[in-house]
Amino acid sequence: MKAVLTCLFALMLVGQAYAQRLKNSSGTIIGYIKNGRVKNSSGTITGYIEAGRVKNSSGKIIGYYDGDRIKNSSGTIIGYFDGERVKNSSGTITGYVEEGRIKNSSGTITGYFEGVRRMEAALYFFFFFY
């Protein structure tokens, strides 16, 4: 769960626009987010982020976010994101999203985001990548 929450806060995009891409720790593009659509590196839609809901490729709700709270599909709080720090449901810091980098709780870079809102980056890693 710790690894999932750490990566929860990091990446989403759709087209292959340079400014809206997500990368893993080695710099390989792993996805895109644009206009609420989430695509993998091959361009296949893997999900949607819209109006506080996170959906899979079939449109089924797999999670929610409101303000700084991240919830699972049942509505149970599973984490928090204050714009920089990612915390689990107990409030323990599990990662960071800062200056285009996603880090685990030890400060090791686990990914990068370019032109993606921090919350979308976090949701991408949490719901679609890990």
Predicted confidence (pLDDT) per residue in 49-94, tens digit: 988 899 999 999 999 998 889 999 999 999 899 989 989 899 999 8
Count of domains forming the chain: 1
| Per-residue confidence band for 129, with pLDDT thresholds at 50, 70 and 90 | low
Residue 3 in tokens: 């690894």
Residue 129 in tokens: 């990548």
Q: Which domain holds residue 79?
A: 2-129
What's the pTM? Answer: 0.73
% of residues, the chain, pLDDT over 90:
35
Give residue 125's region: left, alpha or beta (phi > 0; psi -120 to 50).
alpha
Q: How many helices and strands, by DSSP H and E, does the chain display?
A: 2, 12
Cα separation values, 97 from 43, 94, 122, Å: 24, 11, 7
Mean pLDDT of 26-38: 89
Buried b / exposed e over 37-57, threshold 16 CB at 10 Å, is bbbbeeeeebbbbeeebbbbe
